[in-house]
Amino acid sequence: YRAVNIALVNELKMLYDKLNIDVWEVIDAAKTKPFGFQAFYPGPGLGGHCIPIDPFYLTWLARKHGEQTRFIELAGEINTHMPHYVINQLGEFLNDNSKAIKGSKVALLGAAYKKDVDDPRESPSFELMKLLLKRGAVLTYNDPHVPSLPKMRHYPDLPAMDSQALTPEYLAAQDCVLISTDHSAYDYDFIVQHSKM
């Protein structure tokens, strides 16, 4: 059910962007409910060994018994599409600053699939990296928990990379800094202060 809830939030994020509604304000308003509220936040996709995969076991079992799980499948589609959505948004932001993804220096913050872990399994960061490289970005990354990118079977063509130190000079040298994983170690005021975009 968590994958479905996250898919709903991600889909609302895409819709709210088109309607010029601030998703963060909506979530803050929903938090005022006095009971039974659990916040789900939009993100670049799902990762890990459970949420992106386990719901499809139920789908397979349901099909075996002649049933359909359209909502689970739709959630999977939405969550799988999020890296593409993020890269399209990044392309628009760069374009608004007279830049293209091709040739732009992009730093991706976070390779782990979730906050404060060193596990990159099924991380949407790898899909973001693949899409950025495919569009010609000059890509580097930082992750305090993943010092070097491991070989991933779904991404055999990703180059070997090491995490770069998060210094003012490194951030200032980038055309864009893309936050993929919300690690506690990231000081967002520091990142914004030293980044162009």
Model confidence pLDDT, tens digit, residues 107-138: 999 999 999 999 998 899 999 999 999 999 99
Query: What does the pLDDT look like over 174-193, one tens digit per residue?
Result: 999 999 999 999 999 999 99
Q: Look at the block and give the residue holding tokens 């993020």.
A: 86
Query: What does the pLDDT look like over 51-84, one tens digit per residue?
Result: 667 777 777 888 888 888 787 788 888 888 999 9
- Please count the other Cβ atoms lying within 10 Å of the Cβ belonging to residue 135: 17
Q: State residue 188's pLDDT score.
A: 96
Beta pairing class for 176-179 and 138-142: unpaired
Whole-prediction pTM value?
A: 0.84
Output the six-digit token pair for 67: 């049933």
Distance CA 171, CA 195 (A): 5
Residue 3 binned pLDDT confidence (cut-offs 50, 70, 90) = low
Q: Which residues are catalytic?
A: 50
DSSP secondary structure code for residue 140 in this structure? E
- Can you state the angle between helices 2-19 and 70-96, rounded to 10 degrees? 40
Three-state DSSP state, 107: strand
Give phi and psi for 22, each to the nearest 5.
-80, 110
Question: Hey, which residues does 162 pair with through a beta bridge?
Answer: 148
For all residues of the chain together, what is the average pLDDT?
A: 89
Q: Write down the H helix ranges in the chain.
A: 2-19, 23-30, 54-64, 70-96, 124-134, 168-172, 188-194
Q: Report the half-sphere exposure of 183 (CA within 13 A, side-chain side).
A: 22
